[in-house]
Structure 1
């Protein structure tokens, strides 16, 4: 006999709370740097609505499996917040060569992380595992490479006072991006990885 999975009611699906979080963080990230605030406010609110719609669709599909729904909901939320954290750094670098370097490295890194989601999940459920050390060293390596790129940009140009803050926010976004693929693992897969 199959075990009955807990369901998620509409009032407890957290779609509106997450939407509010994305709108607030997106609105704040629209102000750094201070050029084109209105345009970026519209873009960020539109993205918040897209993230909210994605979470609503996930709720429709997975409302009868609360663990799966909330893990996918967390994935969307973390990627959304990661985008908002990284956006000021990207906007301040555009249209320089540093923007393109940072964009290519970030997209490539995200693709690599999505391919390695089992290893990331394993590292998070078994912190004593060697994969946890690889994740930590990988994060430090990414900070070194991308930090060097951003630092070179700061030295090569006159940056505003927001640039150090944009760099710190960028690394918070990278951290969220690194952890988020673990949310794609099913509860069954997590249990399997715990045994390894």
Structure 2
């Protein structure tokens, strides 16, 4: 509908498709994303489990990069209107590697040893898409707006996960305090 409205000159509309987004969120909203889920497990001292061998890849977009993408889309709305764009890092990481980085980030935060990352049998309800890699090519959006994901440079994943761990831990602590 938005594409038709844009084609008819009734609206400026840009469609952005995002891969899974992670990062500090609203403390009142329960984030169900894979990164936050694994952070909560690691904070609880539970192993991080994968339903595969860890080679399944995901393009994970840091929330600040996602916000900058929307700002870039608004700034270039006339040029982008009526089209659909993929927005991501352009770098799909193996989930085994991501979970190891999560375990280390929680270890840095808590001062306790990193929890193990384990491969386990998938549950019967596992979706086939859980076993497929997801890579996003943001080149068209980048070419049109100049936007680039910043959380892909060396060390940026560690930094972004450290901020996310701190936010998830603070939200858990606030929730525990409000329930007391």
The normalised TM-score by structure 1 is 0.30
Higher relative contact order (CA 8 A, sep 6+): 2
- Choose between structure 1 and 2: higher strand proportion: 2
